[in-house]
Amino acid sequence: MASRKIHLLGGTVFWGIFIGIFYALEKYTGLIDLELTTLGGLEVHSIWIVLSFMACHFGAQLPDYDLLWDKFLPHRNVITHSFFLPLVISIPLFFIGDMGEIVLFLVPIYAFFHIGHASHLFLDLKPEAWKGAALVHIFWINEDGRKTMPPKVSRMFLLVNALIILAAGIILLYFFQAWYVP
């Protein structure tokens, strides 16, 4: 398992890359319009930067919250290390469509949560002290008599879920304005 510091570093690196791309697209291509300068009298850009950073780090840490709930969920289980939690956390996005500028403010923050969550799963593909494989735990006993996925299946599960979550974050971050109609 990669350590907490490594997951935070990974979240920071992913945030830096995607925030850089986001602002480069805004500045040089005009694909993203950040004309949103105030929201209820508040300066938005500085608040948005801080909230996107925090959301990315929350996403990078959320899969390991199963360590707090180990009586219910084993570490690295199919719920916390899949696209399930980001999907559940994103459900409010479907209900804020008619809220005007708040949508332009919140959707990219949700996107950075997804990007942070994906960074965690990518880092779990090759944990720091990895000997053998990073096994994903399931809720039933498989044909080998274990409650874990086999090593190759675990790696594939983490990779596919990381790619799905990262794609969702990229779509939310870069294409949300194309779908948003005030």
Distance CA 9, CA 142 (A): 35
Percent of the chain residues topping a pLDDT of 90: 21
The tally of domains found in the chain comes to 1
Residue that is written with structure tokens 């190759």 in the block: 152
Higher pLDDT, 23 or 141: 23
Distance CA 125, CA 111 (A): 22
Residue 85 has which token pair? 């939690």
pLDDT at 114 over 90: yes
pLDDT at 12: 92
pTM of the entire predicted model: 0.82
Distance CA 40, CA 50 (A): 18
Domain of 37, in residue numbers:
4-179
